């Protein structure tokens, strides 16, 4: 009877690349498990001598030898079990570290297409919880091995004493195996459901923490609590279902064990009464051996059930590890070292992988070196998507984008992105100091260079007023700073990077007038001499652009300077009259 299904074996085989690094220590640990299991139950073989020759034979020396042997074996067994446990943890924790490292490295290599269709909370569960489950699975596998060896040694001792009696009382063993197989499959399914429900709950928590200000602003606490409770209730239901399967399996195993012991006592008792060379010592030894099988068998079943529940974690981990980025370096790609001429969009279309609707359609656009190109249009028209194609956060579905007459797909991605600076609407700062955040894109910059960048970004003055200056800890996501302060640090970071191409994605839209003026002045310093794409909603940001591109529903509808587009009396003029004129 196959205890593990072929799909489970296939899933477990995925761990081979991690396990093979530790083959020698794993083999050593398995041998140690066999020896420690054998030694820990070996005192049973001395029971016959203790009873028959010592107690019934009235020989004190045999009692002393038997008891002393048991004590020595117990001590040796304890030492071996200790080192068996230590080696198990060394192996499992090493594999855990390797898996989590690989997951983090893999996440860094995945493109924005992956993150656009995957919830962050689910990714966090796969990176944090699932490797822990695999770590637990490996430890339980070694423990299962030890329990099985103990049970086997006990069985061998019982068979050696009287194989007929042993076989007779083990006729119910197949029922036990059928029970284990039946409930292990159900536990595996409920384990997968538990992990999915945990991922959903984790996503909800992550979303709540990220949007706590919005929740409070709209007084939606009760609604969010209701939704969270609904999701946590689903997790509770899954947990209860798993508990029912585990309890049923344990209850049946417990009942079968007592039935087996009762049969042993009955048939063994008859054998002693009838003689047939079956001594009291034989009876006590075989009862002790089969009874001693109970604990390891029960533990083995429990551990097997736990392993079954955690097998799905391996598959979830490899959902990330086996993911293939859509955006990768071409085999013959070249390094992007210097922007010389222009950026050209040729008949570029774009749609997300999980959608049939095109976000951008037939985009044809040229941005020459040193030009400022402003993108305007209604929200959701595709402006941000267009600029995200330049650093290859996404790749065009059809058509192409060229920089200096070379398709961006033929540049090394990292070298391309190193030459592109981005100042987004929602500034992201890392937990740490102001100095660390400004130096993020240029780790080799000196303190003097950081200060100079901060001055150009109009950030130096407010930084100097802080108690710790540039060494001020700004909290997670820069929570201790205002929106304008965070934006100016973001600009200082971009200035220090000194990009050749600049993307400003509504960089001032969320600021008050005073902050906007400071940020706008900093942006103008940053833009000087650079090819810049500007997405803006205010006239002051775009009026002096070399080229204004009107995008609606993913298509370029108008292109020209501010004056040219006003003269056309078209879409831009309408947008200007509605939104920009103030």
Q: Which residue is listed with tokens 């993911």?
A: 323
Q: What is the DSSP letter of 356?
A: S
- Average pLDDT score, the chain: 79
Predicted confidence (pLDDT) at residue 3 exceeds the cutoff of 60? no
Long-range contacts at 192-197 (CB < 8 A, ≥ 24 apart): 192/312, 193/238, 193/241, 194/235, 194/238, 194/239, 194/242, 194/309, 195/125, 195/129, 195/130, 195/133, 195/312, 195/313, 195/316, 197/231, 197/234, 197/235, 197/238
Residue 514 pLDDT level (bands cut at 50, 70, 90): low
pLDDT at 487 over 60: yes
Rounded Cα gap, residues 348 and 551, in angstroms: 14
Q: Decide if 429 contacts 436 (C-beta within 8 A).
A: no
pLDDT for position 54: 65
- Residue 62 or 73, more confident: 73
pLDDT > 90: what percent of the chain? 8
Q: CB within 8 A of 474, min separation 6: which ones?
A: 429, 431, 432, 433, 434, 437, 480, 481
Residue 420 pairs in a beta bridge with 501
Please report where in the chains the tokens 């900093």 appear, as a residue. 522
Strand-pair partners of 421: 502
In this structure, the strands spanning 501-505 and 420-423 are parallel
Q: What are φ and ψ of residue 502, in 5° steps? A: -125, 135
pLDDT tens by residue, 423-455 = 877 777 777 888 888 888 788 888 888 888 888
Distances (CA, A) of 529 to 103, 439, 532: 40, 22, 9
Those residues with Cβ within 8 angstroms of residue 263's Cβ, 6 or more apart along the chain or in another chain: 168, 169
Distance of CA 226 to the CA centre of its chain: 27
Q: Which residues pair with 402 in a beta bridge?
A: 344, 407
Average confidence (pLDDT) over 492-521 = 73
pTM across the whole model: 0.72
Model confidence pLDDT, tens digit, residues 178-237: 665 666 566 666 666 776 777 677 777 766 766 665 676 657 777 778 888 887 888 777
- Give yes or no for a contact between 117 and 323, defined as CB atoms under 8 angstroms apart: no
Residue 47: which of 36, 63, 35, 31 has the closest Cα? 63
Orientation angle between helical segments 130-161 and 23-41, nearest 10 degrees: 40
CA-nearest of 316, 410, 274, 291 to 126 is 316
User: Residues 104-160: pLDDT tens digits?
Assistant: 888 888 888 787 777 777 787 788 788 888 888 888 888 888 888 888 888 888 788
SS3 191: helix
Instruction: List the structure tokens of 229.
Output: 């409770």
Contacts of 578 (CB under 8 A, 6+ apart): none
Rounded to an integer, the average pLDDT of 502-527 is 69
pLDDT tens, residue by residue, 255-289: 666 676 676 667 666 666 666 677 777 777 777 77
pLDDT at 132: 85
Strands (E) across 425-491 are located at none
What number is the average pLDDT over the span 73-88? 84
Q: DSSP class of residue 133?
A: H
Q: How confident is the model at residue 1 (pLDDT cuts 50, 70, 90)?
A: very low
Rounded Cα distance between 516 and 520, Å, is: 6
3-state secondary structure of 549: strand
Element (H, E) at 37: helix 23-41
Residue 377 has pLDDT above 50, yes or no: yes
Provide the pLDDT confidence category of residue 456 given band limits of 50, 70 and 90.
confident
What is the greatest pairwise CA distance in the chain? Answer: 121
- Closest Cα to residue 124, out of 198, 24, 218, 21? 198
pLDDT tens figures, 15-54: 888 888 888 988 898 888 888 878 877 777 766 667 666 6
Categorize the per-residue pLDDT at 365 as very low, low, confident or very high, splitting at 50, 70 and 90: very high
Nearest in space to 350 (alpha carbons), one of 305, 379, 382, 303 = 382
Output the CA–CA distances (angstroms, integers) from residue 168 to 108, 220, 222, in the order listed. Answer: 60, 67, 64
- What's the token pair of residue 360? 């951008």
Mean pLDDT of 388-397: 90
pLDDT of residue 52: 64
Structure-model confidence comparison of residues 281 and 567, the more confident one: 567
Cβ-count burial of 336 within 10 angstroms (0-12 exposed, 13-18 middle, 19+ buried)?
buried
Cβ atoms of 312 and 188 closer than 8 Å? yes
Distance (Å, rounded) from C-alpha 449 to C-alpha 441? 13
With 60 as the cut, is the pLDDT of residue 510 above it?
A: no
């Amino acid at each position: 009877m196959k205890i593990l299904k072929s799909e489970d074996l296939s899933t477990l085989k995925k761990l081979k690349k991690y396990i093979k690094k530790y083959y020698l220590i794993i083999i050593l640990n398995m041998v140690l498990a066999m020896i420690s299991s054998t030694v820990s139950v070996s005192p049973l073989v001395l029971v016959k001598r203790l009873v028959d020759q010592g107690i019934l034979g009235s020989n004190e020396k045999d009692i002393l030898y038997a008891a002393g042997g048991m004590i020595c074996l117990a001590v040796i067994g304890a030492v071996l079990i200790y080192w068996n446990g230590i080696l198990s943890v060394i192996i499992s924790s090493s594999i855990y570290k390797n898996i989590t490292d690989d997951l983090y490295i893999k996440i860094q290599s995945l493109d924005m297409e992956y993150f656009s269709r995957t919830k962050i909370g689910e990714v966090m569960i796969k990176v944090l919880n699932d490797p822990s489950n695999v770590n637990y699975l490996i430890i339980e596998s070694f423990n299962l091995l030890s329990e099985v060896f103990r049970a086997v040694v006990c069985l061998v001792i019982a068979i050696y004493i009287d194989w007929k009696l042993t076989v007779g009382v083990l006729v119910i063993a197949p029922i036990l195996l059928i029970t284990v197989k039946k409930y292990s499959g159900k536990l595996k399914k409920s384990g997968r459901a538990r992990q999915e429900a945990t991922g959903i709950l984790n996503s909800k928590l992550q979303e709540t923490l990220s949007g706590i200000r919005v929740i409070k602003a709209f007084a939606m606490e009760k609604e969010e609590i209701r939704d969270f409770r609904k999701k946590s209730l689903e997790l509770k239901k899954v947990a209860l279902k798993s508990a029912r399967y585990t309890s049923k399996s344990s209850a049946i195993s417990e009942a079968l064990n007592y039935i087996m012991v009762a049969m042993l006592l009955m048939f063994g008792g008859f054998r002693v009464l009838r003689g047939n060379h079956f001594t009291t010592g034989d009876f006590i030894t075989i009862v002790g051996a089969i009874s001693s099988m109970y604990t390891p068998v029960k533990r083995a079943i429990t551990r097997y059930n736990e392993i079954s529940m955690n097998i799905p974690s391996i598959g979830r981990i490899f959902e990330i590890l086996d993911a293939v980025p859509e955006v990768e370096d071409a085999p013959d790609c070249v390094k992007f070292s210097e922007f010389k001429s222009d950026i050209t969009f040729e008949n570029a279309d774009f749609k997300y992988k999980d959608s049939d609707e095109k976000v951008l359609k037939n985009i044809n656009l040229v941005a020459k070196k040193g030009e400022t190109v402003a993108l305007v249009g209604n929200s959701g028209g595709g402006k941000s998507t267009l600029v995200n194609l330049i650093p290859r956060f996404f790749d065009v579905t059809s058509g192409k984008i060229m920089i200096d007459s070379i398709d961006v797909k033929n540049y090394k991605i990292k070298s391309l992105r190193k030459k592109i600076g981005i100042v987004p609407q929602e500034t992201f700062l890392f937990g740490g100091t102001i100095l660390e955040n400004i130096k993020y894109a240029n780790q080799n910059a000196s303190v003097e260079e950081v200060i100079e960048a901060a001055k150009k970004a109009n950030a130096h003055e407010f930084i100097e007023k802080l108690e710790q200056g540039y060494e001020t800890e700004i909290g997670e996501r820069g929570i201790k700073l205002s929106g304008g302060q965070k934006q100016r640090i973001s600009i200082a970071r971009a200035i220090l990077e000194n990009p050749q191409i600049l993307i400003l994605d509504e960089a001032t839209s969320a600021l008050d007038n005073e902050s906007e003026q400071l940020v706008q002045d900093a942006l103008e310093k940053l833009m000087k001499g650079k090819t810049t794409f500007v997405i803006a909603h205010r006239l002051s940001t775009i009026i002096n652009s070399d080229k204004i591109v009107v995008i609606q529903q993913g298509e370029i509808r108008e292109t020209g300077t501010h004056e040219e587009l006003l003269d056309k009396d078209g879409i831009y003029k309408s947008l200007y009259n509605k939104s920009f004129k103030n």
